[in-house]
Amino acid sequence: MKKIRKGDQVIVLTGRDKGKRGAVSSRVDVDHLLVEGINVVKKHVKPNPLKGTTGGIVDKTMPIHQSNVAIYNPTSGKADRVGIKLLEDGKKVRVYKSSGAEIKA
């Protein structure tokens, strides 16, 4: 079970975007995430007339390692760790470590 999923609100813990908050837009691979508005770089793009793209400088969101982000707990307003709890019916749910409250996905 992945502790951070698509759609979760996360806070960046390290790097130049430290303290910023955003939603996870997708998982690139097992360890990397794309977060909206985080780790945005300028990319120089060549024009391609066959595809109809114009050249120039484009803002592009790059992946960030999941160890550099933490899930955002709206009740405390801070970053929090994620735990996994087993319910009576055998279902696994994600919970905040600080409060034990279930994470609504």
Q: What is the pLDDT of residue 105?
A: 65
Q: What percent of the chain has pLDDT over 90?
A: 94
Q: What is the mean pLDDT of the chain?
A: 94
SS3 47: coil
Where along the chain do its domains lie?
A: 9-79
State mean pLDDT over 25-31: 95
81/4 Cα distance (integer angstroms): 10
Q: What is the mean pLDDT of residues 2-9?
A: 94
Summarised one tens digit per residue, pLDDT across range 40-76 is 999 999 999 999 989 999 999 999 999 999 999 999 9
Which residue reads 């813990």 in tokens? 13
Q: Identify the CATH number of the domain defined by range 9-79.
A: 2.30.30.30
- Percentages of the chain per state (helix, strand, coil), in multiples of 5: 5, 50, 50
Cβ atoms of 49 and 64 closer than 8 Å? no
